[in-house]
Structure 1
Amino acid sequence: MNYRFQNLLGAPYRGGNAIVVNNTLLISPVGNRISVTDLVKSETITLPCQASSNISRIAASPDGVFLLAVDDNSRCLFINLRRRAVLHRIAFKNPVASAKFSPDGSFIAVASGKLVQIWRSPGFKKEFFPFELVKTFANCNDKVTALDWSPDSDYVLAGSKDLTVRLFCLKKLSGSNKPFLFLGHRDIIVGAFFGIEKKTKQVSRVYTVSRDGAIFSWSYTEKDEIPSPGTPEQTMEVEQTSNVKKRKNSDAIIDEETSTLLHTAKWELSKKNFFMQTPAKLTSCDYHRGLEIVVVGFSNGVFGLYQMPDFVCIHLLSISREKITTATFNDLGNWLTFGCARLGQLLVWEWKSESYILKQQGHYFDVNTLAYSPDSQLLATGADDNKIKVWTVSSGFCFVTFSEHTNAVTALHFMASNHCLLSASLDGTVRAWDLFRYRNFRTFTTPSSRQFVSLASDQSGEVICAGTLDSFEIFVWSMKTGRLLDVLSGHEGPVHGLMFSPTSAILASSSWDRSVRLWDVFDGKGSVETFTHTHDVLTVVYRPDGKQLACSTLDGQIHFWDPIDGLLMYTIEGRKDIAGGRLMSDRRSAANSTSGKCFTTLSYSADGNYILAGGSSKYICMYDVADQVLLRRFQITLNLSLDGVLDVLNSKNMTDAGPLNLIDDDNSDVDDGVEKQTRVKSGYDLPGSMPNRGRPIVRTKCLRIAPTGRSWAAATTEGVLVYSMDDNFIFDPTDLDIDVTPEAVEAALNEDQPSRALILSLRLNEDELIKKCIISIAPADIRVVVASVPFKYLNRLIMAFAELLENCPHLEFILRWCQELSKCHGHSIQQNSRNLLPALKSLQKAITRLHQDLGDTCASNEYLLRYLCSTSSKP
């Protein structure tokens, strides 16, 4: 029950700007969530907070503590990065194109429509009005697109769509306070930056970058004979201010002169340079003041690195053919971060050594299927972009991508060996992948082309079965030879569900012909049992012990069958549980709509006590199988950018022509601002036939619970959501009475009673106390203590061993515990393997991971010792 959101896989980047905090933390928006990647540890996490729609702009404070995230609806979240908690919220009146913290962290500049607003940065203190508006500059004639702060936090550069850059001063000045204008550009301003003098650390120049690939260098002087490129009124203001300065001699006035120098100085255009990438448009840029280097990205996938102010090209390379939507430096300036929203690509490149620090790319389109490895360390995903990606669950990184399929990948299955992955596709092939050598070592085909939508393998790994979409047949191959062994016929509809029994050689298949069939594949008897239903059967799964079969039907019900006796055991009515979320094109509310209220994917827990179900809804339901009750509903997203999230539409957005969101009144140029990404998905979501203007519809296509039972993953419209079990905040004592207290455990340890202390801690079920008792017991007493532990506490004890193996340095000591436990309670564990299966899988996962790490370390040490011995023997 205590599952919490852990991570989002399958999409490292989807648009907006990416930033680097503290040189090593890469922060990027992914839909309405925020992903944080540690570039040193190679780990990525997703913050648990969600915005109301897709996040378009993010900004971080200079110390890396606070994060500002603004979504497409101009709603802002102020987040504490270290605590991963939302501190404050605010809604801006206009769309936000840029936001930036001042170098001292006390102010936030926000480009809200045509306005430049300066807000005082909130802190940890809870306030009724945490955001205080300090100043508003309303001088721009069009939307503000770029902002930059001076090093002293006194000035702000603002670039606008009116082809100008303005210099604003935060301090109150005597006389007129009109901003200085930098003129001459012929396209929209993309970036504006302050340049500093290395010796004096003072602002000496300004760089302005426009979308047509032009970069202008501006320098200032206090001499009167140099003409100003600004307006005549500004020239008169500068002359009047200089005359006033000559008449003032006090130190206070001199300080004011220094602070207002940039605003009153005469700026001149010193140099014009062009990147020469026509017809491509410049889409992103960044400037590093310490190194005086500019990085620019273009709409054709080319990026350039230039040394300023001499405009010397250091690098000019191509990443892809799609638009680069973000390009930024880290604080040291040695790493460059590039993002491509169209490809879901995120790159971190070290430009001096010309090597990749990070290279991640998500699926282009929705993920169709996923599969856990037997040890729960790996997660494989397949999508409509014909690609298969394998992710490390603990780090959230994709380490291999297979792209040999020529059509959508519809099913995945890990073999028991943990190093072989099977995939089925609509291109008519079933492929086997070697996860050691990262290659396709076997391909299974049919005499005539078929479209495969389901996949299964028996426990021994000798037989591979795949169900078809078009011919309604099940094909059976030999894994060793790749030869087609048999074709199972009998279904009269697409075979969308296929699974072997975990304990026998019986194959279960579900079809849209309203039946579930059991097949004896090895004896060649064909269909041995048929379970008929009143509606189309969408999927079928076996319980881990093989004694129960669950299938979902089109009427929203889940049927549980006894595959041995052929009897219907239970039926769960889930139509009302999964109901929720109204499409923009629907003519009735979500409560009254009957379309799509069914489960398309099911997954049993490791012990078989509960089942997860998902479908074309924003909810994932968890049911208790024995009592047929709904335990919990997980809402997969709160993102209003997706269709099917709201239950009731706002009447303010309803017009005579239909919902306001479905009326296409966008007549702007495609290159104007951020290009809208039209996602092409299968079926009725093809361009030209989209009833909701291409807005993705929230749904769950695949669900899988990890073999350890500690986590589960869901392939949704938002990506692959991973939920893990969190025991930190739940107190669940096993056998509690007045004498079972933490003080009693401490007293037993002090009195040298290790068996009593361990049993008391297991009864209390307090994680820290259990681990403390395990560590404090002497190695010579392990066998006696293990023998005294009752069977009902073994599950909790095994889980403690698994957690200690992952975090504790005493490897041999914990393995000694595991060995003695197997010797003393081996017969009981074997008889009750179903109840202990999640804990045993977790222990197996920890031991396997340690074995791999130790094997790699020992192998590297062996070769190093051989090399040292060979070199030391030479004279």
Structure 2
Amino acid sequence: MALFSFQFSNLLGTVYRCGNLNFTCDGNSVISPVGNRVTVFDLKNNKSSTLPLATRYNVKCVGLSPDGRLAIIVDEGGDALLVSLVCRSVLHHFHFKGSVHSVSFSPDGRKFVVTKGNIAQMYHAPGRKREFNAFVLDKTYFGPYDETTCIDWTDDSRCFAVGSKDMSTWVFGAERWDNLIYYALGGHKDAIVACFFESGSLDLYTISQDGALCVWQCDTSPEGLRPKAPTGWKADLLQGEEEEEEEEETTVRGKSAPAPEEQQGKVKYSRLARYFFNKEGDFNNLTAAAFHKKTHLLVTGFASGIFHLHELPKFNLIHSLSVSDQRVASIAVNGSGDWIAFGCAGLGQLLVWEWQSESYVLKQQGHFNSMVSLAYSPDGQYIVTASLSALQVKVWNTLSGFCFVTFTEHSSGITGVTFTATGYVIVTSSMDGTVRAFDLHRYRNFRTFTSPPPTPFSCVAVGPPGRLCPVRPAVLSESPVSCSSCAAPLPGLAPRPLRQVWPPAGWAPSLALITRLFSALAVTFRPDGAELAVATLNSQITFWDPENAVQTGSIEGRHDLKTGRKELDKVTAKHSAKGKAFTTLCYSADGQSVLAGGMSKFVCIYHVKEQILRKKFEISRNLSLDAMEEFLNRRKMTEFGNLALIDQDAGAEDGVAIPLPGVKKGDMSSRHLKPEIRVTSLRFSPTGRCWAATTTEGLLVYSLDAQMLFDPFELDTDVTPARIRAAVRQQDLTRAILMAFRLNERTLLQEVLESVPWDEVEVVSSSLPELYVEKVLEFLASSFEVSRHLEFYLIWTQKLLLVHGQKLKSRAGKVLPAVQFLQKSIQRHLDSVSKLCDCNRYNIQYALAVSKQRGIKRPSEPLGSEEEADAPDDDDTLHPLGEGQEDGDRQLV
């Protein structure tokens, strides 16, 4: 297992944080900002994936090109990433030198506009020309006196409108028009939230935060915009050309056509109507809006979680529903106008609603914060996570990335979760003094355990026989006791010394006592139970033989944590790291390495036997989190103190207004909270090909990317693709397979294995050396995920396990990850194929019943008289193919 090849794979547990939502051009996927990353939710294929890139701060806005190939991602600091959504990589970095509120591409894809401060800047869109600089500034537009808030383009990309917090809306020309340079629109009493052009027109809709909608009519059509005449030597040159053309037209037509007088005037707007949304209370401000031009559908969201659907321009109400009890931060409508996406930042909710059928297409809510524990199912298909503050237990599908069930039966913080050996029961411990068991078949809490005296439980574990081992914080010497592989005490509580490890059945209790001078924070058993790892407060990881109570090794991890400096710290990061330690541990599937994390942005993998650091993973580079920077930011230090002490969010747009004398907006009791980066739990997948970590940003999943990995095995100069293909042509299949695995190129491996006839798989598999059997099983497990040759690879799997099954038992510890990975892949196909077969079985039974009623003879029945043909047949089963029947003779009923 190449521990150095783990790469970021997906982000679960958080579906939306802040920023704007976007639908892809086909309308089947939603692009959602999640912290400093971006996640794409494929609604058609029911799958989510997070782009393998990250910004320096939280994502503020995302602009999508009309063809859906490029995206501009801008963070809170003004740094922008030009991303290719096709190859999922960063093409260009750019800094806008200021906080950007919104970014929007023109419909023709040639330009894009960003709103920054009180100005709007138009750039040439990248990808149209081969240029060294991808972002070329075309023009800067001035006009608003306060911050700009929104952008919208006309359909022909000739003009765009910009809304501002100064209650005005400005219409600018994207090109040099003679009759339109800029036009300012008023009429509102609050900040502009959104502005939209009518389809094929310069008519405009403006919406303000107080719930007012203004309809503006323009006296000029888009075709009536006249290009401004150039000046200087260009004007003289063009004037000479135009005079020659006019003389030719006069000679041909005999007269000239002077321009009408009405085309010489400027563009003017007039307000046709003004509407108000029904508000419930003084605090229900309008916070987001979206407009679908083809269907004239206006969607508006409010601070109370209510949204309205109106038909414009008559302002007819279609729907008025509530999707959440939190503020609707962003709204997007797909290209067809059928699906509406809502983002609620308060609870981290993402919803996609189909307004015509009034049903949810997607309804997801993450933990948002305070995830403290996670566990993998035995087959690696599911991950269960628990939250300390939200009182939720969520189960995530590792293949789709979606949460499919949430349990909320606990009444206090949840401290531990685990799966039973069957994988269909989840056991949780909580501070409410209960241990609950949940069934994944019926999605219910079917068993609740309580202690005689009300005592909060700090963790829980399930042994191989299915015996529960909950642990409460104070048992021996007022210290928490860890059972089996349960981990540390709760975050925020003072650590206490670990006094005892409860042994499994059959172990002598006297041999299981382990006393340490330092406080223990985490403890975990090796998968085979022969070794115990303990993380202590002095930043060490010690390894023990639990049967003999003998220490076998230790690792000093103080210098590997590299904790960052908080904004209010008065000591350097180097000195603050002395008080930090690992708070969570996890063994790898083969037991040769241990994964460690804690109050740091790094996760370390150590080799247990050699006691050395193998690799460090930086789980986040988000500077919006605390304890990320190593050095003090001198720009925040003034003669009056640290600027971090000043709460700059008072009176912000998402603040809650309170009726205090002299206070117009903003909740003076609310304070800005900057979460601190931490890793609360780590787990390796039973397959050994991925590991997950619950962090401040969410549930991060790292996996092995076999498609991009070149890992040769016993390679020499005689192994080449030409010689491998020559061995296949000579029917030396075993030698070809051995050489292909030495070169270890996936496409070549697939070519060689699929060249083996199905009736010779047993002979070839029996001739493989024992060392290569594990590699073949790993390749088969990964092939089940992408290949269409399901039956062929199942034959390979069956023959390998039958022939080498006894030998694999002697190496169960090393082969177990590959077998579990294989089981996970086969189980996924079993679930999908079984559902398809059940559906087809009922369809075939229905077709047979219909054929009987119509008097149609089945192919399996002998031909006879009409009476025999009309007679019903009691045998409704399908007969398999006979020995003399070919595939071409198979007939559909």
TM tier, smaller: 0.7 to 0.9
Give the TM-score normalised by the residue count of structure 2. Answer: 0.86
1:852 and 2:831 aligned: yes
- 1:764: Cα distance to partner? 2.0
1:494 and 2:473 aligned: no
Corresponding residue of 1:3: 6
**2:160 and 2:171 in contact (8 A); partners too:** yes
**2:420 and 2:427 in contact (8 A); partners too:** yes
- 1:669: Cα distance to partner? 4.8
Corresponding residue of 1:770: 749
- 1:843: Cα distance to partner? 0.8
Residue of structure 2 aligned with 1:142, choices 137, 140, 146: 146
Q: C-alpha distance in 2, partners of 1:724/1:640?
A: 25
Corresponding residue of 1:457: 462
Question: Identity percentage over the alignment?
Answer: 39
2:344 partner letter: C
1:532 partner letter: T
Q: C-alpha distance in 1, partners of 2:289/2:834?
A: 45
- 1:428: Cα distance to partner? 1.0
CA deviation profile, 1:505-545 (whole Å, cap 9, x unmatched): xxxxxx95433534346579766521122211111111112
1:723 and 2:702 aligned: yes
Q: C-alpha distance in 2, partners of 1:20/1:369?
A: 33
Residue of structure 2 aligned with 1:834, choices 795, 808, 813: 813
**1:457 and 1:499 in contact (8 A); partners too:** no
Residue of structure 1 aligned with 2:635, choices 635, 645, 652: 652
- 1:787: Cα distance to partner? 1.7
Corresponding residue of 1:812: 791
1:88 and 2:74 aligned: no
Corresponding residue of 1:119: 123
**2:481 and 2:501 in contact (8 A); partners too:** no
Partner secondary structure for residue 203 of structure 2: strand
Q: For residues 580-619 of structure 1, what are the structure 2 equivalents within 5 Å? A: 580-619=563-602
Change (3 A) 1:17 1:261: farther
Corresponding residue of 1:547: 530
Change (3 A) 1:386 1:126: farther
**2:191 and 2:209 in contact (8 A); partners too:** yes
1:355 and 2:335 aligned: no
CA deviation profile, 1:644-672 (whole Å, cap 9, x unmatched): 11111222222344432232255535547
Structure 1 unpaired stretches of 5+: 197-201, 224-247, 474-489, 502-510, 676-686
Q: C-alpha distance in 2, partners of 1:674/1:137?
A: 33
Change (3 A) 1:524 1:84: closer
1:264 partner letter: K
Q: What root-mean-square deviation, in Å, do the aligned CA atoms of Structure 1 and Structure 2 show?
A: 2.8
Q: C-alpha distance in 2, partners of 1:843/1:50?
A: 32
Q: C-alpha distance in 2, partners of 1:521/1:152?
A: 73
Structure with the higher strand share, 1 or 2: 1
1:638 and 2:621 aligned: yes
- 1:768: Cα distance to partner? 2.1
Corresponding residue of 1:179: 182
Corresponding residue of 1:31: 35
- 1:264: Cα distance to partner? 2.4
Q: C-alpha distance in 2, partners of 1:440/1:336?
A: 34
**1:496 and 1:538 in contact (8 A); partners too:** no
Q: C-alpha distance in 2, partners of 1:112/1:850?
A: 51
**1:17 and 1:28 in contact (8 A); partners too:** yes
Q: C-alpha distance in 2, partners of 1:403/1:674?
A: 31
Partner secondary structure for residue 591 of structure 1: helix
Corresponding residue of 1:483: none
Corresponding residue of 1:696: 675
Deviates more, 1:336-345 or 1:212-221: 212-221
- 1:16: Cα distance to partner? 1.1
CA deviation profile, 1:692-718 (whole Å, cap 9, x unmatched): x52100000000000000000000000
Change (3 A) 1:171 1:408: same
CA deviation profile, 1:117-144 (whole Å, cap 9, x unmatched): 1111122877443211111111111111
Q: C-alpha distance in 2, partners of 1:214/1:723?
A: 48
2:457 partner letter: F
**1:616 and 1:698 in contact (8 A); partners too:** yes
Corresponding residue of 2:327: 323
Q: C-alpha distance in 2, partners of 1:797/1:422?
A: 35
Corresponding residue of 1:405: 410
Corresponding residue of 1:440: 445
Q: For residues 231-630 of structure 1, what are the structure 2 equivalents within 5 Å? A: 264-278=266-280, 279=282, 280-384=284-388, 385-461=390-466, 463-469=467-473, 472-473=474-475, 490=476, 492-495=478-481, 498-499=484-485, 512-515=495-498, 517-520=500-503, 522=505, 528-630=511-613
Q: C-alpha distance in 2, partners of 1:32/1:123?
A: 24
Q: C-alpha distance in 1, partners of 2:323/2:675?
A: 27
Structure 2 unpaired stretches of 5+: 222-242, 251-255, 488-493, 659-667, 855-893
Q: For residues 197-236 of structure 1, what are the structure 2 equivalents within 5 Å? A: 202-203=200-201, 205-221=203-219
Partner secondary structure for residue 466 of structure 1: coil
**2:530 and 2:545 in contact (8 A); partners too:** yes
Q: C-alpha distance in 1, partners of 2:709/2:309?
A: 52
Deviates more, 1:303-312 or 1:724-733: 724-733
- 1:807: Cα distance to partner? 2.3
Partner secondary structure for residue 846 of structure 2: helix
Q: For residues 68-87 of structure 1, what are the structure 2 equivalents within 5 Å? A: 68-87=72-91
Deviates more, 1:778-787 or 1:321-330: 778-787
- 1:309: Cα distance to partner? 0.6
1:349 partner letter: W
Corresponding residue of 2:23: 20
**1:97 and 1:145 in contact (8 A); partners too:** yes
1:406 partner letter: S
Q: C-alpha distance in 2, partners of 1:256/1:10?
A: 67
Give the TM-score normalised by the residue count of structure 1. Answer: 0.88
Change (3 A) 1:572 1:287: same
Q: C-alpha distance in 2, partners of 1:670/1:147?
A: 18
Q: C-alpha distance in 1, partners of 2:414/2:263?
A: 63
Partner secondary structure for residue 576 of structure 1: helix
- 1:100: Cα distance to partner? 0.5
Report the structure number with the largest CA radius of gyration: 2
Q: C-alpha distance in 2, partners of 1:65/1:673?
A: 39
Q: C-alpha distance in 1, partners of 2:207/2:707?
A: 51
Aligned residues: 803
Q: C-alpha distance in 1, partners of 2:590/2:258?
A: 74
**1:95 and 1:112 in contact (8 A); partners too:** yes
Residue of structure 2 aligned with 1:790, choices 745, 769, 776: 769
Q: C-alpha distance in 1, partners of 2:197/2:289?
A: 14
2:15 partner letter: P
**1:519 and 1:527 in contact (8 A); partners too:** no
Q: C-alpha distance in 2, partners of 1:630/1:255?
A: 84
Q: C-alpha distance in 2, partners of 1:667/1:528?
A: 59
Partner secondary structure for residue 285 of structure 1: strand
Q: C-alpha distance in 1, partners of 2:409/2:41?
A: 29
Change (3 A) 1:206 1:672: farther
Change (3 A) 1:644 1:671: closer
Corresponding residue of 1:108: 112
**2:581 and 2:598 in contact (8 A); partners too:** yes
Q: C-alpha distance in 2, partners of 1:261/1:442?
A: 80
Change (3 A) 1:674 1:622: farther
Corresponding residue of 2:195: 192
Corresponding residue of 2:645: 662
